[in-house]
Amino acid sequence: MYATQKQPYVNSVVSCFSYKSFKGFAVFIIVLWLIPVIAVSQTTSAKKDQGLIQLSLNENPYGPSPAVAPAIKKEIANIARYTGQEGDELIAAIASHEGVDKDQIIPGEILELLGVYLGLKEGQGSEFIYTVPGYPALVDAAARVGGVVISVPLNDGLENDLPAIASKIGPKTRAIFLVNPHNPSGTVNEDKQFHEFLHEASQRALVIVDEAYLEFSDNFTLRTAVKNIKAGDNVIVFRTFAKAYGLAGLSIGYAVAPKALADYLKKQGLGGLHDLNRLSIAAAQASLADKNYIPLVHDKVATERTKWNVILDNLHLKHTDSQANFVYFDIKKPYAEVAAKFKENGITIGRSFAPYNTWVRITIGLPEENIKAQGITRQIVQ
């Protein structure tokens, strides 16, 4: 019964991406992605904050694997050439890492483009369910082509409210977008409940899970939604090399998807190997080959996160049980005032996330950076 329910939905998702439906939006999409509003904003911000300790964007302060720099240096000699078999080799390496077929891998930082593609389904009025506050890249992209965002607040534990999300699924729902661990709270849903939700919800709509921070969690293997894909559920998992792997400046990630959907999306232009640059590919391959580096980063971040939690408890500040590379806590004072105090002392912190206007998100940095941030926190509170 489950198999017969599942296949028609896969077919309906695939059929929505017809050439005819996409053609009318082609010029619009090209223009849309050639306007680098976000990139310009980030560049301007980076220049403005030059010289400050950056604890705002959840980057890995330890940088990439030691194997990355030599790999990039070696590949520089080949940058006059288009990407070829190197891209195929990266896809094979990712597939091996995930334990799936290489046909299930869609390379690239595709979240926003995926949102555009999904937003084309039935045109105006297609619904996208999403937890707020959160990371809105996919749903914002869908909204630009007529999608309607259905926002669901976090629960009392500042986790994805799975029962509330399930109650919002309807005939117009095109996709459910979850971030686990969530951003900005860093929380994860209990693994059994989460996997059961994905199984049930994916029979009614496509579920997309952004696991950008999962490498920092207490049990990656137990928590990853790739388990659901392997079980046959209509789930797409997105990963990035920008966080735990320390490659934020090279912009490379990938998605794991059911074969039918992955094949169709690639035929429509997502995950093209020529869209990847040689240096990013070399860095990603070197990162995956270094099996010792991610456990090392995980342990360092977990140690620093525990120190933060002890200090927050001693200061009687409410905080989440973050499983990411940042902490999120209620400092009991207006965000603007707190951010200004940190900046005055040489640190930038994460932006505010309404309606949690007295909460702050601080990236876990190097030990000495964390000590400084913790000292400023004490000054503000005491």
pLDDT reported for residue 331: 98
Among left, alpha and beta (phi > 0; psi -120 to 50; other), residue 158 is: left
Cα angle 207-209-211, degrees, rounded to a multiple of 5: 170
DSSP bridge partners of 157: none
Domain 2-34+65-289: give its CATH code. 3.40.640.10
CA separation for the pair 248, 240 (Å, rounded): 9
The alpha carbons of the chain give a radius of gyration, in whole angstroms, of 21
346 in Cβ contact with 209 (< 8 Å)? no
pLDDT for 11 equals 47
Show the CA angle centred on residue 232, arms to residues 230 and 238, nearest 5°: 60
Query: Do 276 and 107 contact (CB within 8 A), yes or no?
Result: yes
Q: Superfamily assignment of 53-60+293-381 in CATH?
A: Aspartate Aminotransferase, domain 1 (3.90.1150.10)
Pairwise CA distance, residues 75 & 80, whole Å: 10
pLDDT at position 122: 62
CB-based contact 326:363 (threshold 8 Å): yes
The Cα–Cα gap between 51 and 130 comes to: 35
Token pair, residue 206, equals 């496509």
Q: Which residue has the tokens 């949690």?
A: 356
Q: How many CA atoms lie within 13 A of 22 on its CB side?
A: 18
Q: How many residues does the chain have?
A: 382
For the cut 90, the answer to whether the pLDDT of residue 193 exceeds it is yes
Amino acid at 102: K
Question: Which pTM was predicted?
Answer: 0.87
Question: What integer pLDDT is reported at residue 121 of this predicted model?
Answer: 66
81: pLDDT strictly greater than 60: yes
CA distance 294 to 271: 25
Q: What is the mean pLDDT of residues 161-169?
A: 98
CA distance linking residue 84 with residue 293, whole number of Å: 27
What is the 8-class DSSP label of residue 318? -
Return the percentage of the chain with pLDDT > 90, whole number.
Answer: 79
Every domain of the chain and the residues it spans:
2-34+65-289, 53-60+293-381
